[in-house]
């Protein structure tokens, strides 16, 4: 992957410095903080140094202290904004109540629109921007594994093993997505569509990396995982039916049919054994688990609203497809 197109003064300065041979980033730090897409894309690029990196950036910059400093400034802003939107539910238990709580939240849904109404161009746009996450599916939560006690660690690996294909690379979920994209005539290489990713996609990605990369946020990472899995099966059915309605190839449909069964298992494991295991060891992390779960649903709601608005759907129609 190449460094994306900049979207403001911070990414202009950062990307040009990353591509230069110098490792002096004081000029970037001097730009200071930024906001909106500019800040989100800067943080996304800094996080990517920890995943697959960029063809035009030296690998050694992953641990450059000045870049880590910039990353921490951007992360602090992001975490503050996410926490400001969150109120912890009172009197609920993660293990007993989280799945019902997720069902009661009433966010906007792109899957409902794809199921019955979306046209081919809208679905292609959705598949492209969703690829920013789906082509690294499950990777952000993999950072959490060594930070857990015995029960939660074994439980997370039981789920992750399935995400990564149970040893069969042909069944690895992000590879299923790449195969689906390719069969649909779309560029399927990692990060290929980053220049079209709206702010909401960058924030969804950044929140997962933030939770995954910080040990102190392990509760939020696992709460996010639980909410993500708990909102996957039924929407995956609607996605699969919408893709079939529009004549998309079987490989693309299969990604979603795999998820409707896999995630019916994963949501139970994520809540009962993974979050349950974590909280048996560290009950004081319950509020962080809720914070991660809330953030997952909140960011998906904001993403869905942004896409439905972009496609010209008013609030009334948004409720109809929810």
Partner 1 sequence: MNTPPDGASTRFDHPDMVLCPGGPMLLRGKHTIMDADGVEHETTRPVTAVCRCDKSASFPWCDGTHKVLPDRLRPA
Q: Please say which residue, 206 or 236, places its beta carbon nearer to partner 1.
A: 236
Residue from 73, 124, 151, 246 touching partner 1 (CB under 8 A): that is: 151
- Residue 291 has which token pair? 């914070």
Query: What string marks each residue from 198 to 227 as x (binds partner 1 by CB under 8 A) or -?
Result: -----------------x------------
- What do you get for the CA distance between the two ends of the chain, in Å? 35
- Residue 295 has which token pair? 């953030």
- Nearest approach, Cβ of 229 to partner 1 (angstroms)? 10
Rounded Cα distance, 289 and 279, in Å: 9
Interacting residues with partner 1 between 1 and 40 (CB under 8 A): none
- Nearest approach, Cβ of 161 to partner 1 (angstroms)? 6
Q: Please say which residue, 40 or 227, places its beta carbon nearer to partner 1.
A: 227
Total residues in contact with partner 1, by rule CB under 8 A: 30
Per CB under 8 A, 181 contacts partner 1 = no
Q: Are 105 and 226 in contact (CB under 8 A)?
A: no
Whole-number Cα distances in Å, 49 to 43, 63, 162, 209, 233: 10, 9, 26, 11, 32
Q: Please say which residue, 213 or 260, places its beta carbon nearer to partner 1.
A: 260
Helix axes 65-84, 199-213, angle to 10 degrees: 110
Interacting residues with partner 1 between 40 and 99 (CB under 8 A): 96, 99
Residue from 147, 179, 214, 317 touching partner 1 (CB under 8 A): that is: 147
Rounded Cα distance, 124 and 171, in Å: 23
Sign of CA dihedral 306, 307, 312, 317: negative
- Contacting residues toward partner 1, per CB under 8 A: 96, 99-100, 103, 147-151, 154, 158, 161-162, 166, 215, 233-234, 237, 260-265, 267-269, 272, 281-282
């Amino acid at each position: 992957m190449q460094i994306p197109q900049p979207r403001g003064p911070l990414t202009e300065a950062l990307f040009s410095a990353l591509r230069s041979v110098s490792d002096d980033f004081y000029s970037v730090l001097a730009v200071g903080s930024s906001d909106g897409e500019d800040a989100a894309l800067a943080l996304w690029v800094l996080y990517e140094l920890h995943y697959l990196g960029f063809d035009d950036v030296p690998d050694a910059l992953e641990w450059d202290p000045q870049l880590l400093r910039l990353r921490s400034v951007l992360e602090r802003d992001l975490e503050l904004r996410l926490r400001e939107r969150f109120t912890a539910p009172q009197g609920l238990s993660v293990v007993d109540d989280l799945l019902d709580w997720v069902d009661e939240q009433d966010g906007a849904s792109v899957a409902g629109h794809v199921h019955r109404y979306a046209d081919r161009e809208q679905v292609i746009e959705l598949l492209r921007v969703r690829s920013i996450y789906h082509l690294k599916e499950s990777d952000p939560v993999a950072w959490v594994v060594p930070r857990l006690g015995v029960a939660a660690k074994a439980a997370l690996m039981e789920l992750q093993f399935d995400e990564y294909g149970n040893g069969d690379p042909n069944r690895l979920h992000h590879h299923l997505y790449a195969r689906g994209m390719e069969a649909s005539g779309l560029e399927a290489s990692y990060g290929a569509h980053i220049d079209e990713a709206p702010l909401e996609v960058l924030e969804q990605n950044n929140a997962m990396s933030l939770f995954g990369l910080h040990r102190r946020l392990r509760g939020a990472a696992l709460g996010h995982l639980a909410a993500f899995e708990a909102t996957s099966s039924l929407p995956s059915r609607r996605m699969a039916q919408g893709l079939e309605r529009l004549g998309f190839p079987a490989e693309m449909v299969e990604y979603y049919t795999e998820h409707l069964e896999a995630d019916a298992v994963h949501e139970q494991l994520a809540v009962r054994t993974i979050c349950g295991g974590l909280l048996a060891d560290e009950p004081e992390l319950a509020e962080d688990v809720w914070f991660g779960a809330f953030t997952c649903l909140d960011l998906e709601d904001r993403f869905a609203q942004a896409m439905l608005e972009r496609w010209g759907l008013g609030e009334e129609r948004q409720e109809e497809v929810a």
